[in-house]
Structure formats: structure tokens, C-alpha cells
Amino acid sequence: MPLSASSTRVAEPLLASGADMCRWIAELYPICRSITGDGVRETLRRLNDLVPLEIHEVPSGTPVFDWTVPREWNIRDAWVKDASGRRVIDFQHSNLHVVNYSIPVRCRMTLAELRPHLHSLPDHPSWIPYRTSYYNETWGFCLAHRDLEALRDEEYEVCIDATLQDGSLSYGEIVLEGTTAKEILISCHICHPSLCNDNLSGIAVSAALARELQAKPHRYTYRFLFIPGTIGAITWLALHQGSVRRINGGLVLAGIGDTAPLAYKKSRLGDSEIDRTVEHVLRHSGLPYLVTEFSPYGYDERQYCSPGFNLPVGRLSRSPHGQFPEYHTSADDLTFVSQESLAASLQTCRDIISVLEDNHSFVNLNANCEPQLGKRGLYRAIGGNADAGKSELAMLWTLSLSDGRHSLLDIAERSGLHFASIRDAARLLLEHGLLQQQIGEGGTESTQKT
């Protein structure tokens, strides 16, 4: 079957709603994740209940290109107690209170000595900032600025009950085999603690997508990665150098749960099939959207698009990375993501995959002048309604450009029609013996630079 059967349906319980994804996010929210450690493992274990995944462990010290897999960080508790023994900063209240990856510490100090280790946001005095110190051995606490200002000049007891030891970097992977070995990569980061839009939204939509795809037939092989940001992508690429060329397109899903319009950041290639597909889907969505060119800053698209790999991997987000006030603060909480946005993000991913799955090339078997559509019942009598005219136009465009060199997406773009109209036209023309699939299926590849 050259075009996916329109009757392919996924069982209802496997289709996630916005409410389902919000529930998953709420369950994962309290876990203290980092780039390594038990928080990531616990997150992967819980995801495994939603969709079976393989958990990989890469030992600390493993060289990965210019980097090294770091030691494993685990934290049990942390606090700052005032002279009366009261916890004035308490990790049990929010895991954002500790600078992520802090070295262990246990000491007494004055406020003046403690002060350089405290981080707050004067512009948002009730928010706790999220800070990390992955590659610089230090420690610190984050707190609301109003709480910082309330600290009295006295002696404090400081404790970060954490370990930083050789262990491993954990990541999760789901490979859903298709009829071809060519792959679509979906990647999200899993290294942020209690932050919802930044990491949990991407995790939830990726898991939802994987659940659906595992339950229906597909042409592409889909590879889902749940990895710690930066070092996880670098590690995965270092360990899979021989197979990355199978990746025909991919998406980094990050920050897709807030209420800003969807934003697509193109791959470094800029005009690969995934770039054109996402832009097409967004343009026909009827919703506001943003498309931006590639830049070597952001999430893991930086690694997938690094010049040595130059993979066709773009990024789907909402609020621009790092440019909204709630970014990397306690305000990126459960109220910052919405069911509607998550559901719309998931639907957009479905639409993108639907185009990729059906983006074939065909050859017109009646290329000498137009075939007579009327005698085949494909051309309505004069005065047909507007929709009928549209479907006829889609057939004419499909016949005109089906020379084996244009994919259905090429035809959709050239005609200005929605991909679904062109696909439906191709399906009808195939049924009437007017098209055949291009031998060797050059279509999707012809528009692809690798």
C-alpha cells in the first residue's frame, strides 16, 4: 500500500488527551532530576509504565567526542538552618532550592560567608531560580528574593547531603520498527528537576506520540530519545556514529506546553524534508505560528545539527528558548502549561508524521495530455460545489507534477493546497490506475540533502 490506509486507527486508551499529559507532568514534577542519577532513572521507570522503553547506562568517564560522561549526582536532602535550628531553605519544599549538581557540603557559616552561595531573582521576588553547576565544582542554594532579604545576620548551619561519584549516565530509548530502516528521530531532554514547560512538556508529548505509534503500522522507523540535555545527545551521537545516517528527519521537542504559538526552528540544512513538512503543517493549521532559521544555540538540535553530523533535525517549541520570564524559575510550574497547548502540540506532531509517512513520488501513467477524468467519474458536472472544484484541482496538480521527481509535498507546496488534498487526490488516481509509485521511491529523498 503506497499511501497509508485512512482506516488506520489507534485504540482509544492509547490516545493521550491534554488532561492525560497534564497528569503525567504532575506525577513527574516532584522528582529531582539532573544530568545523571536516580532522578533520571525514576523518571524513565515511570515513563516505562506509559510506553515500554529501554534504559541505557553509560559509565562515568566514557569519552564522548570532546566531552566525558560525568560522575553521577544523587541528593537526599539539603537545608540551611538558622540559629534556632529552623530550616530557612529546605530542599524538601522545592528541589530548585539546591544548585543542581552541587558538591556535598556540611558546615556552619555567617550570613556574609553564605551570601555568595545564594541565588535569587530581584525582579521576581517570589520566584526561586533554577541554577546548575555541572562542569564547575561548587555548591549553592536558590531562594525567593523576599526570603533572602528576610535572612538575619546570624550563624547558619548548611547541609547538602549529596554524592558525586562514578556511576553512569542514564537515557531512555524507544525504537518502533517500520517497513523501512530509515528513521525519524524524536528527542527530548529529561535533566531538569521541578520545571514543567522546560523538559516535562517535551517528555509528555514524546511519550504520548510513542504510545500511539507503537499501536499502528508505519513506514518509517521511529526512534524516541529521552536524554539529559547536551551531554546526553553528545553521548548518544558518539555511541551511534555508524547509524545516524539512517535518520531521515527529526524533531527536538522542548517547551511545548505553554500558551504561546508553536514555533519551529529549522535544522541547519534549512530546506530538508522535515523543515518543509513542519512549515507546511503550521501554515495550514489556521493558528498563529513562528518559523525561525537555525542558530547554534538552544536545545539538543545544536548537537544533531553540528557540522560533523548535520542531521535534518529541527526543534518544535512554543515560547522562545530562554526569552520568557518564567524560564528556569519556579514559575515554570504546573500552572504554566495548559492541556489545550499540550494537546495542540501533540496534534501538530501527528500531522507532521502523517505528511512524512505519505510523502511519496508517483508517475502519471497517462502523461500525454490530460486523462479524461469525467469518464472515470472523477470530474463532476458543471456547477459542482467549491470543495469538488478543489479536489479536481488537486487531481490536476497531482497528475501534472507526478513525473517521478516531485513528491506529494512538492506538489502541495507548488499548488498551495493542503498536503491532505494532494494525498487524497493521489489515492483516487492510484485507484483508477492513473498513477503508479515511482520505482525506488526517489521522491522523498530527492528533496533531502544529507
Residues found near Zn ion in the complex (CB under 5 A) = 198
State the minimum distance, in angstroms, from the CB of residue 82 to Zn ion.
31
**How long a stretch of residues is the chain?**
450
Distance separating alpha carbons of residues 444 and 277, to the nearest angstrom: 11
State the minimum distance, in angstroms, from the CB of residue 198 to Zn ion.
4
Residue 77 host element (H or E): strand 72-81
Q: Between 332 and 413, whose beta carbon lies closer to Zn ion? A: 332
Q: Between 3 and 40, whose beta carbon lies closer to Zn ion? A: 40
Those residues with Cβ within 8 angstroms of residue 200's Cβ, 6 or more apart along the chain or in another chain: 24, 25, 28, 29, 192, 257, 337
The set of cell numbers assigned to 370 is 490530460
State the minimum distance, in angstroms, from the CB of residue 192 to Zn ion.
5
State the minimum distance, in angstroms, from the CB of residue 327 to Zn ion.
7
Instruction: Give phi and psi for 251, each to the nearest 5.
Output: -135, 135
Q: Helix crossing, 408-415 with 419-431: angle to 10°?
A: 120
State the minimum distance, in angstroms, from the CB of residue 328 to Zn ion.
6
Q: Between 280 and 318, whose beta carbon lies closer to Zn ion? A: 318
Q: Between 202 and 312, whose beta carbon lies closer to Zn ion? A: 202
Do 175 and 225 touch, CB atoms closer than 8 A? Answer: no
Q: Between 198 and 351, whose beta carbon lies closer to Zn ion? A: 198
Residue 206 host element (H or E): helix 202-213
Q: Between 322 and 384, whose beta carbon lies closer to Zn ion? A: 322
Cα–Cα nearest to 344, from 259, 276, 264: 259
Binning the chain into helix, strand and coil, the percentages to the nearest 5 are 35, 25, 45
State the minimum distance, in angstroms, from the CB of residue 217 to Zn ion.
36
The owner of cell 530546506 is 271
Query: Which residue of the chain is nearest Zn ion when measured via CB?
Result: 198
